[in-house]
Structures are given as C-alpha cells and as structure tokens.
Structure 1
Amino acid sequence: MINEIKSDAEKRMKKSLEALGSAFNKIRTGRAHPAILDSVMVNYYGQDTPLKQVAAVNVEDSRTLVVAPWEKNLTPTIEKAIMSSDLGLNPSTNGDVIRVPMPMLTEETRREMVKQAKADAEHGRVSVRNARRDANNDLKELLKEKEISEDDQRRGEDEIQKLTDRYIAEVDKMLKAKEEDLMEV
C-alpha cells in the first residue's frame, strides 16, 4: 500500500516536471527552436489543429525558423496563425515556405522572461508539494484505519519527503538552465 502511494506521488511529480518543461518551451529565447511554435493552432478545414500536424518546422539558422506546410493552400492560414499567436513573431512567406525570424531580445524583455520562468518554476514546486501533501494524507488515512503502523507511516513520509526533495531540486536545476539560456546574449 505504501509503495502504491509512493509510486502515485512520483507519477504526479513527474507530470509536474513535464508541465514545467512545456511551459519553459513556450518562453522564447533569442535562439530559434521549433518547440516555440508548439502552441500555435491553425484552422485546418474548420478544425483548430496544432501547427506541427500540418507543417514541418525546422531551424534554418540560429535566428530563423522555416515552416514548410504539407499543403500549399495552407501557407497564408499558417502565416496568420503565427502572427495572431501571442509569441510576438512576424513571419514572412517566401514561395512555399514561411520564414519566422526571431527578434533580438532586449535586456528588459529578458528580465521579464526570467520572471515568467521563475513563476512557472514556483508553480512546478507547488505542484510537487501538493503531490507530497496528498500522499501524506493517504498515509494518515491508512494509519487511522489501522492498516499500517505509526512506524510504517513515518517511514513512508520520509520516503515521500526524499522524493519531494529530489523533484524540487530538479525544478531548480531546470530553472537555472532556463535563466542562463535567457540571459545569454
């Protein structure tokens, strides 16, 4: 039972890290990276479809993405979708492909993005702690129903705390890497 609670908590903590990783991907750095466009939705025959399902997104050079639609008639629709996204990008169509240059980041913009990254990291930490709290509550419930002893409960709480510390350290490591990436000129 304790192992089930522990594995459930670990799954939730892993999902928190994955969510943090996707949140960090949405924060653009000065470098071109295909994941920046993951949140862009394109109107594809009346359905909102993720961009990566209707076009190939590649890095041309360190500051430019190239979007190659699989259907040529989608080019203007994709260009509009990129422009209307809240990413602040200005694509230009060149025949069959769309080039998306990454604008240079000002110092102020970089600092704002670091603030956003810190806020996202804090949400990740809170999510990890919530998983710990729920697991500890489950252990207390088992103790109350006399399915485990107090020693087992303490041992389980210690294991869950070690797990929590490990995942919080991982969140901090991800934040440090993102901060360095953002502040790099």
Structure 2
Amino acid sequence: MADFDFDDLKRRMDGAIQSFKGDLAGLRTGRASPNLLDPVMVDAYGTQMPVNQVANISVPEPRLVSVTVWDKQMVGKVERAIRESNLGLNPVTDGTTLRIPLPELNEQRRKELVKVAQQYAEQAKVAVRHVRRDGMDSLKKMEKDGDIGQDDNRQMSERVQKMTDDAVSEIDRTLATKEQEIMQV
C-alpha cells in the first residue's frame, strides 16, 4: 500500500478549526475579553499591526477593556483604529490608556452576531471540505496510477470522510456554544 499522508489532512482540517475559533474569539458577547480587539489593525510605523503589538490589553472589569499604548504618539492611531473597526466600540482616552466600556447588547445586535458566527462556521466547513476534496483527489490519482487498489481506496476514502465528519461536528459544537454565549443576557 502506498503512502498517503493522513496527518497532513488532519493538520489542515485542524488549522481550519483553529482559524474558526480565532474568528469567534473576536466576536463580542456580553462580557469583555482581550480577544475582542484581535481583528483590529493599527497603522503603526508605516505598516499594519495588530493592536496587541503596540499596546497592552487587559480586562479590569467584566464590561470594560483597557488598552495601555506603549508609545504615546500611537494613542490617536490606536483610538482611531478601534473606532473604525466596526465593532461598535467607543474608546475614552486617558493619557496613554484607552478605556473601552462595552454597552449592553440589544436583541437585534445579538441576532446579527449569531448570523456572523454562522457565516464563520460555514467558511470553516468549506475549508474542511476543500481539504477532504484534495485528499479524495489524491486517492483517485493513486488508484489510477496503480499505487493502491480499489479496496484500499475505499478504506482510505472512508477514513478521510470520517475525519471530515469529525471536524464538521466540532465546528458545529463550537458554534452552538458561541451562539448560546451571545444570546445569554
């Protein structure tokens, strides 16, 4: 039986899941989280940088995010980046510290956030399915080239499908947890 790299497929599927979890971490729930500012990029020193590379982010209270900018010339740029990030946040500047109070989420905003989470989940599932397709194509090519037989192809295809099903069910579980977190008042 020829070599087929199941570990590579698993690694790529896990990468899609981790990317999905990272996207979800940036979605705002009712509580403050330092990950909330992960998607925010600041124009710093002539390049785009994540906020956490120009400032320290902390959560002193459940509904407050504190951003302490290291270089006081960057305070205005960090504040502007947070305001323009479409996260609905309004930072208050206090020297080199930005205080970001998190307003209560209304029902409509919660539903919008759930839809965004569902879009992220669908993108992750598509990525997992692309990995599956690559694996299946590789198996078909190996069978066509005579490297593996029909029985081996079927067994290996079933294993690839099981890996895909497991990854998709993990995405669904993660999404359900996040939806519950968002809708919790």
What TM-score range do you get, normalising by the shorter chain? over 0.9
CA distance in 2, matches of 1:141, 1:46: 47
1:179: how far off?
A: 0.4
Whether 1:181 aligns to 2:181 is yes
Match of 1:57 in 2: 57
Match of 1:171 in 2: 171
Match of 2:26 in 1: 26
Taking structure 2 as the reference length, the TM-score comes to: 0.94
The 8 Å contact of residues 91 and 99 in structure 1, kept in 2 or not, is answered as yes
The 8 Å contact of residues 70 and 96 in structure 2, kept in 1 or not, is answered as no
Code of the aligned partner of 1:170: E
Code of the aligned partner of 1:141: K
Taking structure 1 as the reference length, the TM-score comes to: 0.94
Match of 1:8 in 2: 8
1:124: how far off?
A: 1.3
The 8 Å contact of residues 9 and 135 in structure 2, kept in 1 or not, is answered as yes
Q: Which moved more, 1:95-104 or 1:172-181?
A: 95-104
1:180: how far off?
A: 0.8
The 8 Å contact of residues 64 and 102 in structure 1, kept in 2 or not, is answered as yes
Structure 1 consecutive aligned stretches of length 4 or more whose deviation exceeds 4 Å: none
The 8 Å contact of residues 16 and 124 in structure 1, kept in 2 or not, is answered as yes
CA distance in 2, matches of 1:54, 1:66: 13
CA distance in 2, matches of 1:45, 1:119: 33
Match of 1:162 in 2: 162
Whether 1:150 aligns to 2:141 is no
Report 1:101-180 matches (<5 A): 101-180=101-180
Percent identity of paired positions between Structure 1 and Structure 2:
39
1:49-74 per-position Cα deviation (integer Å, ceiling 9, x unaligned): 21111100000111100000111222
The 8 Å contact of residues 33 and 65 in structure 2, kept in 1 or not, is answered as yes
RMSD of aligned residue pairs (Cα, Å): 1.3
1:113: how far off?
A: 0.9
The 8 Å contact of residues 117 and 175 in structure 2, kept in 1 or not, is answered as yes
CA distance in 2, matches of 1:96, 1:145: 64
Code of the aligned partner of 2:88: G
The 8 Å contact of residues 42 and 51 in structure 1, kept in 2 or not, is answered as yes
1:23-64 per-position Cα deviation (integer Å, ceiling 9, x unaligned): 212221121111111121222222222111110000011110
**For the structure 1 residues 169 and 87, does the alpha-carbon distance in structure 2 shift closer, same or farther, using more than 3 Å as the test?**
same
CA distance in 2, matches of 1:162, 1:130: 15
The 8 Å contact of residues 83 and 91 in structure 2, kept in 1 or not, is answered as yes
Match of 1:72 in 2: 72
Code of the aligned partner of 1:138: S
CA distance in 1, matches of 2:17, 2:150: 31
